[in-house]
Amino acid sequence: MLGRAQAADAIPVGSTGGGSLQVIFGLLLVALLLAGSLYLLKRLAAPSGGTTLLRIISAAAVGARERVVVVEVGETWLVLGVAPGQVNKLHELPRQALPDGGRPAAPHQAFADRLRQIMAHQQRNVRNAP
C-alpha cells in the first residue's frame, strides 16, 4: 500500500497555464500571418492605374447576371457578352468618336441625370401648389 501512495505522489501534476499560453500565442501568430498575407495580396493585386491600353466604353445589363460591354483596345472596340464564367466576343468595330466629348459615360450618370430632372420637376410642382 505504501508503494502506491509513493507512486501517486511521484506523478507530477502539470499546470495547464503554460500549454494554454502556447496555444493562444500560436493562434495569435497564425491570425497575424493571415492578416499580413491578405494585406499583401490586396496591395499586389491592385491595378496600377497607369495603363490606358484597355478602357470600358459602355456596359448594359441584359439579364440578371449577363452584360454586354463595349471595350476599347488600341484602335478597335470589342463588343463582348459577359456572363458568369465566360466572355464571348460578339462584334468588333473600328474606334469611334464618343458623343459626349471623348469620355465614356459613367454607368450611373444616366441615373443621376434622370434623378436630378425628377427632383427639379417635383420642386417646381411644390412651389406652384396652392
Distance CA 75, CA 106 (A): 21
> What is the reported pLDDT for 86?
93
Sign, CA dihedral 63-64-66-72, equals positive
Per residue in 82-112, is it b (16+ CB within 10 Å) or e — as a string?
beeeeeeeeeeeeeeeeeeeeeeeeeeeeee
Distance CA 35, CA 33 (A): 6
pLDDT digits (tens, 9 = 90+) for 78-123: 999 999 999 999 989 888 877 665 555 566 667 777 888 888 888 8
> What is the reported pLDDT for 25?
93
Least confident of 6-10, 24-28, 70-74, 76-80: 6-10
